[in-house]
Amino acid sequence: MWGDPTECDARGHRETGTGMCGEFPAGRSHIMKDALTIHRALLEWEAVHEIVRLPIGIAHADELPKALGLPADRCLVTRVFACDDAYGGRRFLAGVVVPAGDRPSGETVRRAVGARHARPARADLVNTVTAYAAGLVCPLLLPESMPLLIDQRLVDGLAAADVVYTPTGEPSTALGIRGHDLYALCQAKPVELAAAPGVPAPAPRPARESGRGPAGRRNRPDRPEPRHPVG
């Protein structure tokens, strides 16, 4: 089973679906998330942000620095990995927020989420589980069953008030939001993605460990002083 039979709605709440069967949803049509979905959620969370119209269309978030004329560490990409649970065999997706152009290794992600295997997820699987277009995944409004990591270097390197940009699920827009607001809203776990690999995969156990994964990502930061218009 991929993930959990519940997902986040536009308010960050969990909504019950029909469940996942194998690699695809069982009998559920997905409404893909876009800039308007994110904008409405951030308005409800009272988070200062802007939706930026890009001068050129992009096919992948790695193209954001060129489209915006910004350094890569101000443009964030959410890489999605398909993982196998170390003990119970459950299959799930994990997201990793990194600067545009960076590609964490599957081994680094595997260790960080405690999986037996981790590899880049297929595009159709990303579309189905996240409801974002593959390659344009925003780190907000992801399913609660999906662990989310962020490169520790991003957390350490940006000032709290620095604005970062992420995809919105569509090729013509980007989300601009203060870095500390984004981190608080998505509740990604900071990890050292540059650590040297070499830790062996954990051996499987007959009994599956209990627990449902990361805590819900519904908290919001204290409302910051306005810096960017709401677009």
**Sequence letter at residue 182:** L
Where b means 16+ CB within 10 Å and e means fewer, 119-150 reads eebeeebbbbbbbbbbbbbbbbbbbbbbbbbb
Distance CA 67, CA 208 (A): 45
Question: Per the CATH hierarchy, to which homologous superfamily does domain 51-191 belong?
Answer: YbaK/aminoacyl-tRNA synthetase-associated domain (3.90.960.10)
Element (H, E) at 181: helix 179-186
Element (H, E) at 35: helix 35-44
- Between the alpha carbon of residue 180 and those of residues 62, 90, 114, the distances in Å are 21, 32, 26
Are 74 and 178 in contact by the 8 Å Cβ rule? The answer is: no
* 3-class SS string, 84-140: EECCCCCEEEEEEEEECCCCCCHHHHHHHHCEEEEEECCHHHHHHHHCCCCCCCCCC
- The per-residue pLDDT for 67 is 97
Question: Could you read off the pLDDT tens digit of each residue along the chain, which spans 231 residues?
Answer: 444 433 444 334 333 332 333 343 433 446 899 999 999 999 999 999 999 999 999 999 999 999 999 999 999 999 999 999 877 778 999 999 999 999 999 999 999 999 999 999 999 999 999 999 999 999 999 999 999 999 998 888 877 679 999 999 999 999 999 999 999 999 999 999 864 444 444 444 444 444 444 444 444 444 444 444 444
Token digits for 80? 């999605």
| Residue 2 DSSP one-character state | B
Domain locations along the chain: 51-191
pTM to 2 decimals?
A: 0.74
